[in-house]
Amino acid sequence: MATYKKRGYKPKTQEEKEVNTEVNIEENSTTAEVFNTLDESASKAEDFVAKNQKNIFIVIGLVAVVVLGSLAYKQYVAKPNQQAAMNDMFQAQKYFNEAVNGASKDSLYGLALNGGEGKYGMLDIIEKYSGTPSANLANYYAGTAYLRLKDYKNAVEHLGNFKSSDEILAPLAKGNIGDAFVQLNQPEDALGYYEQAAELRDNEFTTPMFLFKAGSIALNLGKADKALGYFKRIKSDYANSTEAGKVDVFIGKAQVLAKK
């Protein structure tokens, strides 16, 4: 059993002296073993570094090149490219906005796509500034313009290439793809995109709008139970939306069809 020894305690018997000597020897031996092990490990590490020094420096150099290259690309290539893309995109955006708000829509959407007055269109921005945020946004504009021009296949392609986390644009892009598939007479695909658009964000504008479109398509596809669920959700969760004002009629239709 271990016993507590007060400070300054001196062994009185020969037996106690012998025991203390053995303990000191054992402790010194253990300490020596620890340091020997550390020395061996350090020696092995030094040997490894010495033998592989060239490869280690190559790896470090490659990492440095990648990191510095990435920083340089962002600072000296991506950033100036994005600024140039924004400047070149201005006129195309102007045409698009005029088409949305004014007359001569088809010709203005065409100018938004292909450019005019010596300025780039959205298709030029997508090609010239590929990989920039402006090129990504140009895909949304181009896809929506094609949808308005009834070129539904190109609408699906460009809207599908658009990536966003925006509260409104992200679900609108998905929903517009659904609209294009309706016109292409692919209702199952349209339903899938309307469902995605409704679930992508939760807000008072896009969510009830695409729930209503999903419910309408589901009703036409004979999926009355699914349609009823979407219509009831509009009524309960989005009572102040435009869709809520007309959803009661559709709830009635869905209930009748669901019972058959």
**Sequence ranges of the domains in the chain:** 56-163, 165-260
**pLDDT by residue (tens digit) across 34-65?**
445 545 555 655 565 555 555 544 455 445 44
Token code pair at residue 151: 């070129």
Residue 78 predicted with pLDDT over 60: no
- pLDDT for the residue numbered 103: 74
**pLDDT by residue (tens digit) across 153-191?**
999 999 999 999 999 999 999 999 999 999 999 999 999
To the nearest whole percent, how much of the chain has pLDDT over 90? 61
CA 61 – CA 19 distance, rounded (Å): 58
- pLDDT for the residue numbered 20: 46
- pLDDT for the residue numbered 154: 98
- CA-closest candidate to residue 145, choices 136, 158, 160, 126: 158
Lowest mean pLDDT among 58-62, 120-124, 142-146, 156-160: 58-62
Backbone dihedral angles phi then psi of residue 101, each to the nearest 5 degrees: -100, -10
**pLDDT by residue (tens digit) across 179-238?**
999 999 999 999 999 999 999 999 999 999 999 999 999 999 999 999 999 999 999 999
- pLDDT for the residue numbered 60: 53
- pLDDT for the residue numbered 80: 59
What's the mean per-residue pLDDT of the chain?
80
Superfamily name and number for 165-260: Tetratricopeptide repeat domain (1.25.40.10)
Q: Residue 165 region, left (φ>0) first, then alpha (ψ -120 to 50), else beta?
A: alpha
- pLDDT for the residue numbered 251: 96
CA 155 – CA 194 distance, rounded (Å): 15
Highest averaged pLDDT of the listed ranges 18-27, 30-39, 95-104 = 95-104
Average pLDDT, integer, range 5-23 = 45
- pLDDT band, very low/low/confident/very high, at 85 (cuts 50, 70, 90): confident
- pLDDT band, very low/low/confident/very high, at 12 (cuts 50, 70, 90): very low
- pLDDT for the residue numbered 72: 41
- pLDDT for the residue numbered 99: 92
